[in-house]
Chain A
Amino acid sequence: MNRRRFLGWAVAALLGGWSRPAALVAGPRTGREQEVKLAYLYNLARFTRWPGDDPPAGGTFRFGVWGDDPFGPLWNELIGRAVHGQPVEVVRVRTAQDARTCRVVFLAGTTVPSVGRMLEVLDGWSVLTVSDQPGFVDRGGMVGFVRRGEKIRFEVNLGRVRAAGLRISAEVLRLAVRVVGQEGAGRGSLP
């Protein structure tokens, strides 16, 4: 193939890709894994109530990440927003104190040093724990992401959510693929 023909071909290929046929576009909305998970984190925060007598430090709504942050620059989009009227802030969790000042702590997949230790550190604190490590809710985590085919869904450990004094919307529970630890159901969930 000579150079001129290659150039023409490459541009045509790119153009062809850009003008994706409408027939192919129709269908379910698509997104990248981390974007979907981040959107979940934001929505879970919006549909969860923290005890009123426990105002967060500095009047911000703080998300924390433990392990290798999978979201990186995606956080920028969240930072301009507010949850429960408080502007969003994001921190990397390095110490127990860091974790306890957060409203939501995300334990990043298999890069977290120890799931058990973080749950222990947050025991008795009103912090929503979320992770995408397999089996997270069975080990005492509150919300765990799971993959179902091409979609990201989640599981909830309602017992742990209640024990932390949090109330999670019934809408969230309805969408969960599995809810565990729900002895005495109804008390902790919002209508």
Chain B
Amino acid sequence: MRFAVVRWGAIGVGVVLLSVTAAAAGNRSLLDLDLRDLSEVEVTSVSRKPQKLSETPAAVYVITGDEIRRSGATTLAEALRLAPGVEVARINASTWAVTIRGGNDRFSNKLLVLVDGRTVYTPLFSGVYWDSQDLPLENVERIEVIRGPGASSWGANAVNGVINVITKSAAATQGWTVEGLAGTEERGQGFVRYGGTIGPAAWVRGYVRYAARDRGNDAMGVEADDEWEDLRGGVRADGEVGAAQKWSVQTEVYRGGAEIAYADATRRVLGAEDVLGLPVIRDRVRTRGGWVLGTWTHVSPSLSELTVRTYLDRTVRVEPQLTETRDTWDLDLKYRFSFGNIHDVQWGVGFRWTGDRIDESDVISFGSSRETDRLWSGFAQDELSLAGDRIRVLMGAKVERNEYTGLEFQPTVRAIGRLGPGAAVWAAWSRAVRTPSRAEADGRILSGFVPPGAAAGFGGAPNPIPVHMVLEGTDEFDREVLWAHEGGIRFLWGRKLSVDLAGFLHRYEDLRTFEPRVAPDGTVVLTADNKARGRSVGFEASVDWFATDWWRIYAAYTWMVLDLRLKGGSRDVFTENEEGRSPRHRVSVRSSMDLGRGWELDLWGRYVGGLEQDGVDAYTELDIRLGRRLGRGWRVDLVGQNLLEPSHLEFIPGKAIQTIPTEVQRGAYVRITWQTP
């Protein structure tokens, strides 16, 4: 750790020294060019942010499509590493643990993820299957990352953060794009997209993408069997009808397969792994599915907006231990209007139906093999601009009725004050809840065997022979609650440096525990309960610095500590370990340079602290991308990823349904792109 601080500190000092020289060189504002000169300016890709953000009373970061391209990331989960405060840990080639502000695991249940307003959070285990959501990044317009609760507008489970993926409109993807990629870890990808017009104000595009990824290393340094492939294609159309209506319809189908290894709970003796090794089952995870989403907006003569969105989503996942088929229908209506020069009001109502069919196994079973759930919700918020728009106050709340815990109320109060041109300070208070997953309500998961005698530790008589240990859901399990206090400051230093600092204090109540008992048949049963509470404190800093008009440096630092406590009477054994699932320090430094003549050079260094309780070491990694625009729409990229070490381990998932982690390997790839000029 100390080494890392010294190393990054030294890089930081070097960068600051360079800045002084670079700033002295200066550059004339484009505003002083006349029109003729302006029409000759070459637009480079080191783009600024769409910064409505500077006015948002929340910790927000926007990853632009251009940043994604320049990072070399090829999957959605990897692209999220670009945002400060997002913890991305790759478990194996096709699974990730992703969260914000702590509590990371394969199923990080306090992070809500939406793609164009479609939730991709699975209600079965509370989390995201990142492999099913591996949309082509070429279609991504931007990813909005909100750290901290967003429950007052997005609803339950937007507890520690919200990730909003927004794809490009069909109008913005006209013409052909063809991309081919080949490499060592990124085995190969092909992407073809065509966009055209279907009317004076209507556009359409279609695309197909195939991607194959190589396996990682196992703990012995030998290649594991976890390669992954994915094929998907889709169509999107956008348009306007008459003067007042705007619509969008999109659909996608996908099919994927990944080799994966699990700890075999039917043979595993808990606690004996050091001696006997972990029994493992390997199989192929198959994913397939598709969705249709439509949005319709009507704008009144006074510019009030009514938006209706609906989608149908089917996702099928065939795993060795569980097959899940899930259908979701969602309908949302939102109305926005302004009045009195100071009020900007939004309200909306929503309904979601989700139905599943589960094919169980010896390891995972449910109280019922089919289940349907309905969710009703309504929200309202008013954003007041006061003191000549120097101060903005936002008050809002969402009320939801779900079938597990009934009515939930999730309010927020936020304020932002402008301190002058380019400086603002904000503060927020919110309440958010995480509602039970179906597994926590009626699931039963076999974890392994308790070795002889050890049942005594769970309050039973010493067992003469190994007995089952199962995790069990119950209707009694209640929602988890967060009370969040946040604040931050943003400022511009001259024209070139923008700084964003945020701090938070999150207090959690009724966090999940598993309470042990010994059933009459000797089985050790751990039942879900709400007997923990906790607190997390953290600090997130990011600096965006345009050193010159062709060089941008972006640095982020995140520090956080999570402290969990069991309430009286709890005998949970997992909670203590969960504290250590998030690194205390994380650093990311990116340098983007336009070297002229179409050359681009990007460097990206990352330091991620260790997860000591789980035995995951801290790591430092470096990605490099060298790109060249060749003219006539051609572009070539050479990308090296995780270059500092042959391989490194990022995460070891929790013990229920334990996915066997593999190490992320050093890799390189070449990408050739052609776009209609």
Residues of A within 8 A of B (CB): 1, 3, 6-7, 10-11, 13-15, 17-18, 20, 24-36, 38-40, 42-43, 47, 66, 68-74, 76-79, 81, 93-96, 98-99, 109-110, 113-121, 133-135, 138-139, 147, 149-153, 171-172, 175
- A74 — which chain B residues lie within 8 A by C-beta? 48
12 more contacts with CB within 8 A, not counting A14-B15, A36-B43, are: A14-B18, A17-B593, A24-B599, A30-B42, A31-B43, A32-B44, A42-B31, A68-B52, A94-B303, A113-B299, A116-B240, A138-B200
Known: A35-B30, A43-B34, A96-B303. A119 touches B243 (CB 8 A): yes
How far apart sit A99 and B38, CA to CA, in the bound complex (Å)? 27
Assign chain B's interface to a size class: 35 or more
Q: B374: CB under 8 A from chain A?
A: no
- B21 — which chain A residues lie within 8 A by C-beta? 18
Find out whether the CB atom of B43 lies under 8 angstroms from the CB atom of A32.
yes
Can you identify 26 A-B contacts, CB atoms within 8 angstroms?
Answer: A11-B11, A14-B591, A18-B22, A24-B595, A27-B596, A27-B597, A29-B42, A31-B30, A40-B35, A68-B50, A72-B54, A73-B498, A77-B495, A93-B303, A94-B338, A110-B238, A113-B299, A113-B303, A114-B240, A114-B297, A116-B244, A117-B299, A117-B303, A119-B243, A138-B200, A152-B39
- A13 — which chain B residues lie within 8 A by C-beta? 591, 603
- B339 — which chain A residues lie within 8 A by C-beta? 95
Find out whether the CB atom of A96 lies under 8 angstroms from the CB atom of B301.
yes
How far apart sit A27 and B42, CA to CA, in the bound complex (Å)? 10
How far apart sit A74 and B31, CA to CA, in the bound complex (Å)? 11
Which of B33, B305, B605 gathers most chain A CB within 10 Å? B33
Q: Give the segment of B166-174, B204-212, B225-233, B426-434 that binds chain A.
A: B166-174
- B34 — which chain A residues lie within 8 A by C-beta? 43
Within 8 Å by CB of A115, from B47, B49, B240, lies B240
- A69 — which chain B residues lie within 8 A by C-beta? 50-52
Residues of B within 8 A of A (CB): 3, 7, 10-11, 14-15, 18, 21-22, 29-31, 33-44, 46-54, 168-169, 171-172, 174, 197, 200-201, 203, 238, 240, 242-246, 297, 299-303, 305, 338-339, 344, 421-422, 492, 495, 498, 547-551, 591, 593-597, 599, 601, 603, 605, 620, 622, 629, 644, 677
Known: A78-B31, A114-B243, A151-B39. A95 touches B14 (CB 8 A): no
- A119 — which chain B residues lie within 8 A by C-beta? 243
Within 8 Å by CB of B492, from A34, A73, A78, A96, lies A73
Main secondary structure of the interface of A (DSSP, over half): helix
Find out whether the CB atom of B39 lies under 8 angstroms from the CB atom of A153.
yes
User: How far, in Å, is B599 (CB) from chain A's closest CB?
Assistant: 7
Find out whether the CB atom of B240 lies under 8 angstroms from the CB atom of A109.
no
- A14 — which chain B residues lie within 8 A by C-beta? 11, 14-15, 18, 591, 603
Known: A81-B31, A149-B677. A175 touches B39 (CB 8 A): yes
Find out whether the CB atom of B551 lies under 8 angstroms from the CB atom of A32.
no
How far apart sit A69 and B492, CA to CA, in the bound complex (Å)? 17
Find out whether the CB atom of A34 lies under 8 angstroms from the CB atom of B31.
no
User: How far, in Å, is A136 (CB) from chain B's closest CB?
Assistant: 10
Find out whether the CB atom of B40 lies under 8 angstroms from the CB atom of A134.
no
Q: Which residue of B lies closest to A1 (CB)?
A: B644
User: How far, in Å, is A104 (CB) from chain B's closest CB?
Assistant: 14
User: How far, in Å, is B36 (CB) from chain A's closest CB?
Assistant: 6
How far apart sit A78 and B421, CA to CA, in the bound complex (Å)? 12
Known: A35-B30, A73-B422, A76-B422. A28 touches B171 (CB 8 A): no
- A3 — which chain B residues lie within 8 A by C-beta? 3, 7
User: How far, in Å, is B147 (CB) from chain A's closest CB?
Assistant: 19
- B14 — which chain A residues lie within 8 A by C-beta? 11, 14-15
Find out whether the CB atom of B40 lies under 8 angstroms from the CB atom of A28.
yes
- A28 — which chain B residues lie within 8 A by C-beta? 40-42
Known: A1-B644, A138-B200, A151-B42. A7 touches B593 (CB 8 A): no
Find out whether the CB atom of B42 lies under 8 angstroms from the CB atom of A139.
no
User: How far, in Å, is B479 (CB) from chain A's closest CB?
Assistant: 33
